[in-house]
Amino acid sequence: MKCQKCKAADATTQVKRVVNGEYEEYMLCSECAHQMGFDNVFDTSVPDMFGGLMKSIFGAALPSRSQATRCPVCGSTYGDITNTGKVGCAKCYEVFLNELMPSVRRIHGNTTHCGKRQNMAIAEKTETSKTQNDNKAEIEKLKSELDAAVSTQNFELAAKLRDMIKEKEAQL
């Protein structure tokens, strides 16, 4: 299917929205989608230009390792994930962890969860260790500095402080 905006490139992005009480749905190519602010998180068109070129020459007949590997639970290949921008199931995060990590890092700037845990009992136990308490005190200090920076609208300093806090929090 061709993109409904430029009517030239292949449509890869489906957009659904409501305008003036009317529901509408259309298909866009990645370029038009990007221009309109709808991005695929896995869209690697820039760094992957060479791969894209190869793909257009060889078509779909160029299987790479991860394209051949299927998730045993949902049957997704890594290609399915990048094409749709959707991960198939929880197991996919195990099977394709190495392939997914660069995107995750690019999106969040972090790779380690901190926050609510399913088993709160474990979390509370580890939190009491001494080094972590030290780290926590430092985080609190940085946070008050961040507040001060924000209140003086010093956004550059605030961004730096925020990153430092994030790093510390990731160590917890």
Partner 1 sequence: MKDSIVISSRVRLARNLRDYPFPCRMDEQQRLQVIEKIKSALKNCDEKFMFVSMEDIGELDAVTMVERHLISPEFADGKPGRALAVTEDETVSIMINEEDHLRIQVIKPGLSIREAYEIADRIDTQLDKELHFAFDGSLGYLTQCPTNLGTGMRASVMMHLAALSNNHSVHRITSNLSKLGFAVRGTYGEGTEVSSCMYQLSNQVTLGISEKSAIENLQNICTQLSQSELSARSSLMQSMEYQDKISRSMGILLTAKLISHAEAMKLLSNVRVGITEGLIDDVSLDTVDELTLSIQPASLMRAKGKRLTPVERDEARAELIKNTLR
Return the number of the residue (69 or 84) whose C-beta is nearest partner 1: 84
Binding-site residue total for partner 1 (CB under 8 A)? 53
Q: How far apart are CA 54 and CA 52, in angstroms?
A: 5
Count the helices and strands in the chain (H runs, E runs). Answer: 9, 2
Q: Does 155 bind partner 1 (CB under 8 A)?
A: yes
Orientation of helix 130-151 relative to helix 155-171, angle to 10°: 170
Structure tokens that stand for 128 in this block: 């009491």
Q: Answer yes or no: are the C-beta atoms of 73 and 103 closer than 8 Å.
A: no
Site string for partner 1, 76-115 (x = CB under 8 A): x-------xxxxxxx--x------x--xx--xxxxxxxxx
Q: Answer yes or no: are the C-beta atoms of 24 and 16 closer than 8 Å.
A: yes
Q: Does 117 bind partner 1 (CB under 8 A)?
A: yes
CB of 140 to partner 1, least distance (A): 11
Q: Answer yes or no: are the C-beta atoms of 163 and 155 closer than 8 Å.
A: no
One of 6, 7, 8, 17 touching partner 1 (CB under 8 A): 17
Q: How far apart are CA 63 and CA 61, in angstroms?
A: 6
Return the number of the residue (64 or 112) whose C-beta is nearest partner 1: 112
Binding site for partner 1 (CB under 8 A): 15-18, 20-23, 25, 36-38, 41, 73-76, 84-90, 93, 100, 103-104, 107-118, 143, 147, 150-151, 153, 155, 158-159, 162, 165-166, 169-170
